[in-house]
Amino acid sequence: MNNHLNEAISLLQLATQSLIELAAMPEDRQPLRETIATTVEQINRSLAELLAASTPPSLDKIPPEVLLKAERLGVPLDDIEVRVSITTHHLSQFIGVLNEIENRFAEIRRVREYLLVRLPDIAVEQLGSRLPVYTASDFEWTETRLSPTELAAIRSKYQIDRLLQQPLRHSADLFKQIESAELAWEQARSTTQSEQLNDTDDLSDLPF
């Protein structure tokens, strides 16, 4: 931790000294843009050293094939800013920015800077299969099996044997039964309506 802190102090001191020297120069002779760019880089590196002091940027949890791809694309994995940026973002973001670098490799002149700028903007995605993973243990029957006595009692209670012995009904027979039921219902309704009409006629003959 002390090494990172000492490096952060050294970088901040360099940045401060550069700004002091810049301010002491006449304005027409100040290398403003170059000095500011160098100072910003020193401050960014000092911030990375401070973060590394609190949380060491270890790459041990990153799959080896991902690290090999990063090396092949020219990502400086020993750079403190790169290591801190990688370890403080999701693995899917690191993989996403590597894919971008690979697809646009001919257009990218500075891989390190591209990674540092783009990595925070890459969307976090779910890694691996989106389907649940099942194992043999998920299909094991955990409940106790019923005894023969219990099975016999259930078969007797619900008359399972009798149901199994009944012949299967053809669909045509079923439709005939439905048609007969509808006809019987129509006849019953007609009879009921006729009786109601007769009752009304009988009431009309009463002397009220």
- The alpha carbon of 134 is separated from its chain's Cα centroid by a whole number of angstroms, namely 18
11 and 40 in a single domain? The answer is yes
88 and 115 in a single domain? The answer is yes
pLDDT (tens digit per residue) in 103-147 = 999 999 999 999 999 999 999 887 765 555 556 666 565 656 667
Judge whether 27 lies within some domain.
yes
Judge whether 130 lies within some domain.
no
Q: Cβ neighbours of residue 42 under 8 Å, at least 6 residues apart?
A: 11, 12, 14, 15, 18
Mean pLDDT of 47-61: 80
85 and 42 in a single domain? The answer is no
Mean pLDDT of 67-86: 92
Range of the domain at 185: 146-189
Q: How far apart are CA 51 and CA 93, in angstroms?
A: 19
Which comes out higher in pLDDT, residue 50 or 191? 50
76 and 102 in a single domain? The answer is yes
Burial class (CB within 10 angstroms; exposed 0-12, middle 13-18, buried 19+) of 100: middle
Judge whether 12 lies within some domain.
yes
101 pLDDT higher than 90: yes
pLDDT for 9 equals 84
Judge whether 135 lies within some domain.
no
The pLDDT confidence band at residue 161, using thresholds 50, 70 and 90, is: confident
Q: How far apart are CA 130 and CA 6, in angstroms?
A: 45
Write down the pTM of the prediction.
0.51
Judge whether 195 lies within some domain.
no
Token code pair at residue 115:
């990674």
**What is the total count of domains within the chain?**
3
Judge whether 139 lies within some domain.
no
Q: How far apart are CA 138 and CA 170, in angstroms?
A: 40
